[in-house]
Amino acid sequence: MKIQCPVILHPMGLETKIKRMPGNPGVYLIKDAGGRVLYIGKAKNLRVRVRSYLRPQGDGRAHVRLLMARAKDIDWVITESEKEALILENNLIKKHRPRYNVDLKDDKSYLTLKITTREEFPRLEATRRINHDGSLYFGPYSSARDLRATVELINRIFPLRRCSNRDFKLRTRPCLYHKTSGCKAPCVGMIGVAEYQAMVDEVILFLGGKSGKLLNRLGEEMKRASTEHRFEDAGLTRDRIRAVKLTLEKQQTQSMNPIDRDVIGWVREGAEAQAAVLIVRSGAVLDQRGYYMDHLVDDEAGVVAEFIRRYYREDRIVPAEIIIPCDLGEEEELTQRWLSEKRGKKVRLINPKRGEKVAILRMATENAQTLLTERRKSKVGYEKALEELRDRLGLASVPARMECFDVSNTQGALPTASMVVFTDGFPDKSAYKRFAIKTVKDSDDYAMLREAMTRRFARTGPGWEKPDLLVVDGGKGQLSAALAALEDMGVTIPAVIGLAKARTIPGTAEPLKSAERIFVPGRKNPIIPPRNSSAIFLLQRLRDEAHRFAIAYHRKRRGARISASKLDGIPGVGDKRKKALLRKFGSIKGIIKATSAELAQATGISEKLAVEILDHLNTNSE
């Protein structure tokens, strides 16, 4: 891979620089005047692709003009092939998170069900991470409730072991699950490897949607058990058959083609788009996920192709078929090859023109339209809230960027502060910041707030723009601390307020007419909006998000200190070995679950020391 980044930038205009770009495949990065990456794209021919953005009549899209109006510089990376450019583009987007690239607003990990097939006696595990460890993964499941229901059903029909590997090795007698027919007790040899594996194969057929094969197999097992006069086993198998049939009857949305596929419904209006992904497994629609995108600059095929790459970039299960809303043009072959490599088998991208696939794509598209409509309704509500906030605070314009600070500590221990940002009424999580308080030793919330704000406003540049409205969680004291910090830094903010819970009327338990009070500088009494105020609802969301973010960071720091202390006092275990253990097993709980042989695989840990570590942790565990 060759990197091309010209050194002399200012004397050379953007158009001149683009003309000098090579005709190789590669990745380009469009930047603003501050050097912030606005957009990242890949191209088979860098010069031809990027020049299309400069044609005055060649691209009339308003969002492209908006991007190029802000563009002041461009860098590029030459790659050996278009496929290498695709991989680099993905990595750079993940690193820089450009404003005008596809950003999945609901890009969260989903639960999957894992069967540890490499173990002699496999078990089921719920996980959000797919590792290339030889195990089989099924799902995804949109909620823990759905996953628990599936696991409970499987355990009722197919009694696999439920204990951890450590408990499995140490157990000397069957557990309670065995007594309730919930486990065959392989831990004490009450079922052989071959018989247990046959049950695992049935679970795989069940989760894989191979209901016909599973029922045939169970039917043969029941006949064989009956012929051999094993009537109790035959009865248990008969019950399994009934349970499987009952489960299949509950599937409501069926397809004539029992293939695994994802269906991408798509609605785009200008620079905004909404996707609805239907998860179809063995012909049954199991789930739907919605994703909203904005600031889009590419054409339809390019945006959909980028969405597909972003969606499957993480450890998501790639199905055999993906129904797409449009032809991807020159992007299709490359994207299909990339997906096939991720899956390990061929993946087909299909833009159907007729038949059953058109019907399910239409359903996905209707869902996408509904999601976009609902989002727009919500967005209108936030616009009204911002307008009300402008009027109540006497601002010249609506506060497009709002910041809120909160502090969290336990009697002064491990104090932390959070800063959350809402842009146009919506959380902008990429701009959230958190601070470990360094200079305040006592439980002084005001001093902690001043330190956090001083450190925040000492920063400038991309990502640290000044807010239109600054909110602190608290009343007059917190507001005074915030104003003092701003004065010390010489920073001016259009509006600074404190938001505090309302008190009751003196001498009574009757609350004031609002759940919140807004404190503003220079005013003795707080503003008390009505309970149905859109503005106060928005401020509550902002404050609650800052509170959640601060507490989460405080708990993380407290948990890290508690975890580290449990390894203290073990002879031979210093900082390096602590880090090696925590790096390998993730937590103290992970270390305790491991065997001494597994601990000995960590750097610097001998078998003798591994035994001593486990003895110490088990002795001192709560």
Query: Cβ(404)–Cβ(551) under 8 Å?
Result: no
Query: What's the rounded Cα separation, in Å, for the pair 187 and 170?
Result: 9
DSSP E strands in 69-163: the ranges are 73-78, 111-115, 124-127, 136-141
Pair (442, 537) in one structural domain: yes
Element (H, E) at 6: none
pLDDT confidence of residue 520: 92
CATH of the domain at 571: 1.10.150.20
Omega before 140 within 30 of 0, i.e. cis: yes
Closest by Cα among 378, 311, 365 to 108: 311
Pair (424, 549) in one structural domain: yes
pLDDT confidence of residue 246: 63
Structural domain that includes position 570: 566-620
Pair (194, 225) in one structural domain: yes
pLDDT confidence of residue 507: 52
β-bridge mates for residue 141, sequence order: 111
Query: What's the rounded Cα separation, in Å, for the pair 49 and 31?
Result: 16
pLDDT confidence of residue 251: 43
Residue 73 forms part of a structural domain: yes
pLDDT confidence of residue 98: 86
Residues 6+ positions from 276 with CB-CB distance below 8 Å:
264, 265, 266, 288, 289, 290, 291, 364, 365, 367, 368, 371
Residue 390 forms part of a structural domain: no
Query: Cβ(54)–Cβ(68) under 8 Å?
Result: yes
Radius of gyration (C-alpha) of the chain in whole angstroms: 30
Segment 343-380, tens digit of pLDDT:
888 999 999 998 888 988 998 998 888 888 777 666 66
Helices (H) and strands (E) in the chain, counts: 20, 19
DSSP line for 505-546: PTTSSPBPSSSEEEE-TT-SSPB---TT-HHHHHHHHHHHHH
Residue 339 forms part of a structural domain: yes
Residue 575 forms part of a structural domain: yes
Element (H, E) at 190: none
Closest by Cα among 355, 313, 357, 366 to 335: 313
pLDDT confidence of residue 106: 57
Instruction: Give 536's Cβ-side CA count (13 Å radius).
Output: 18
Pair (127, 182) in one structural domain: yes
Residue 301 forms part of a structural domain: yes
CA 95, 415, 495: angle at the middle one, nearest 5? 70
For helices 144-157 and 193-207, the axis angle rounded to 10 degrees is 140
Token pair, residue 415, equals 């104090």
> Which segments of the chain have a pLDDT < 70?
1-12, 55-66, 105-110, 132, 139-146, 209-211, 243-258, 270-271, 282, 284, 286, 314-315, 376-381, 410-413, 502-515, 530-532, 554, 557-565, 620-622
Does this model's pTM top 0.85? My answer is: no
Query: Cβ(156)–Cβ(81) under 8 Å?
Result: no
What is the amino acid identity at position 216? N
Token pair, residue 379, equals 């967005």
Pair (136, 233) in one structural domain: yes
Pair (24, 62) in one structural domain: yes
pLDDT confidence of residue 562: 53
What is the amino acid identity at position 77? V
Residue 396 forms part of a structural domain: no
pLDDT confidence of residue 253: 39
pLDDT confidence of residue 252: 37
CA distances for 255 relative to 43, 126, 158, 259, angstroms: 38, 27, 26, 9
Phi, psi (deg, nearest 5) at residue 53: -70, -20
Element (H, E) at 77: strand 73-78
For helices 82-96 and 331-343, the axis angle rounded to 10 degrees is 80
Pair (324, 358) in one structural domain: yes
Query: Cβ(619)–Cβ(604) under 8 Å?
Result: no
Report the number of distinct structural domains present in the chain.
5
pLDDT confidence of residue 508: 52
Query: What's the rounded Cα separation, in Å, for the pair 416 and 432?
Result: 14
Last residue of one domain, picked from the residues 371, 388, 422: 371
Helix, strand, coil proportions of the chain in percent (round to 5)?
45, 20, 35
Pair (412, 555) in one structural domain: yes
CA 344, 350, 355: angle at the middle one, nearest 5? 130
pLDDT confidence of residue 118: 87
β-bridge mates for residue 535, sequence order: none
Query: Cβ(158)–Cβ(152) under 8 Å?
Result: no
Residue 387 forms part of a structural domain: no
Last residue of one domain, picked from the residues 40, 69, 96: 96
Segment 401-438, tens digit of pLDDT:
999 998 887 655 678 888 999 988 888 888 898 888 88
Residues 6+ positions from 151 with CB-CB distance below 8 Å:
113, 124, 126
CATH of the domain at 284: 3.30.420
Pair (305, 407) in one structural domain: no
Tokens 């090696």, residue located = 580
Q: Determine the 3-state secondary structure of 601 from DSSP.
A: coil
Residue 381 forms part of a structural domain: no
Pair (92, 118) in one structural domain: no
pLDDT confidence of residue 265: 93
Token pair, residue 110, equals 């989903």
CATH of the domain at 537: 3.30.420.340
Last residue of one domain, picked from the residues 46, 71, 96: 96
Pair (123, 242) in one structural domain: yes
Token pair, residue 14, equals 């953007």
pLDDT confidence of residue 352: 92
pLDDT confidence of residue 314: 64
Token pair, residue 50, equals 């990027």
pLDDT confidence of residue 67: 79
Query: What's the rounded Cα separation, in Å, for the pair 375 and 368?
Result: 11
pLDDT confidence of residue 12: 47
CATH of the domain at 48: 3.40.1440.10
Query: What's the rounded Cα separation, in Å, for the pair 492 and 495?
Result: 9
239 burial type by CB count under 10 A (0-12 exposed, 13-18 middle, 19+ buried):
middle
Query: Cβ(497)–Cβ(487) under 8 Å?
Result: no
End-to-end CA distance of the chain: 54
Query: What's the rounded Cα separation, in Å, for the pair 17 and 47?
Result: 10
Pair (87, 121) in one structural domain: no
Residues 6+ positions from 394 with CB-CB distance below 8 Å:
none
